């Protein structure tokens, strides 16, 4: 199992045993700037099982936990490991917002993607109005390279470079 560690966090490859805790972190506030709506437990379980049965080789999902007490905080994703700039994403439960955890997660994914796959840059799409998430991209020297749209919101697409000095 892949495990990524950072100062306060452990990102471990999602396992079915994580499902109840991860599901417990999902609220409407978390989904506001995500492409999905909060699912029912049955829908969520079905989605997890489908993914577990047909894993995609270049896509990784991680459960985010606080190292000190193993508290589940949310999920992170790393997609397109075979592409020039893999795409990273995350969501955190509402009680974990505003503690710099988002920045720590994105930094850790970038470091891992550089160390594991030799990638020099990463894609990070963000809803235009998602100020906190855009702050993360900008703090990590992200540049806007495009736009996306989905039925819920319009997004800007950042390209974030790997930079030795900016990751802790």
Residues that bind ligand COA (CB under 6 A): 30, 33-34, 89-92, 97-103, 126, 130-133, 135-136, 139
> What is the edge-to-edge ordering of all strands in the sheet holding 3-5?
3-5, 9-13, 59-66, 72-79, 87-92, 121-127, 154-161, 143-149
CB 89 within 8 A of CB 124: yes
CB of 1 to ligand COA, least distance (A): 23
Distance separating alpha carbons of residues 96 and 74, to the nearest angstrom: 9
CB of 2 to ligand COA, least distance (A): 21
CB of 27 to ligand COA, least distance (A): 9
Q: Which is nearer to ligand COA, 31 or 45 (CB)?
A: 31
CB of 53 to ligand COA, least distance (A): 26
Q: Which is nearer to ligand COA, 89 or 113 (CB)?
A: 89
CB 148 within 8 A of CB 155: yes
Q: Which is nearer to ligand COA, 49 or 141 (CB)?
A: 141
Distance separating alpha carbons of residues 159 and 138, to the nearest angstrom: 10
Q: Which is nearer to ligand COA, 90 or 110 (CB)?
A: 90
CB of 135 to ligand COA, least distance (A): 3
Q: Strand 59-66 vs strand 143-149: parallel, antiparallel, or unpaired?
A: unpaired
Q: Which residue is nearest to ligand COA (CB)?
A: 102
Record the tokens describing residue 98, joined without a space. Answer: 């505003």
């Amino acid at each position: 199992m892949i495990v990524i560690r950072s100062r306060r966090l452990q990102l471990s490859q999602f396992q079915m045993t994580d499902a109840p805790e991860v599901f417990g972190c999902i609220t409407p506030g978390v989904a506001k700037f995500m492409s999905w709506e909060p699912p029912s437990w049955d829908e969520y379980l079905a989605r997890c099982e489908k993914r577990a049965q047909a894993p995609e080789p270049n896509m990784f999902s991680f459960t985010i936990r606080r190292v000190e007490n193993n508290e589940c905080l949310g999920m992170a994703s790393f997609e397109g490991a075979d592409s020039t700039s893999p795409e990273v994403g995350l969501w955190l439960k509402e009680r974990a917002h505003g503690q710099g955890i988002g920045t720590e997660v994105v930094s850790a994914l970038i470091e891992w993607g550089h160390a594991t796959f030799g990638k020099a840059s990463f894609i990070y799409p963000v809803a235009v109005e998602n100020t906190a998430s855009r702050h993360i991209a900008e703090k990590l020297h992200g540049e806007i390279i495009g736009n996306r749209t989905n039925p819920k919101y319009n997004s800007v697409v950042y390209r974030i470079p790997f930079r030795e000095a900016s990751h802790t």
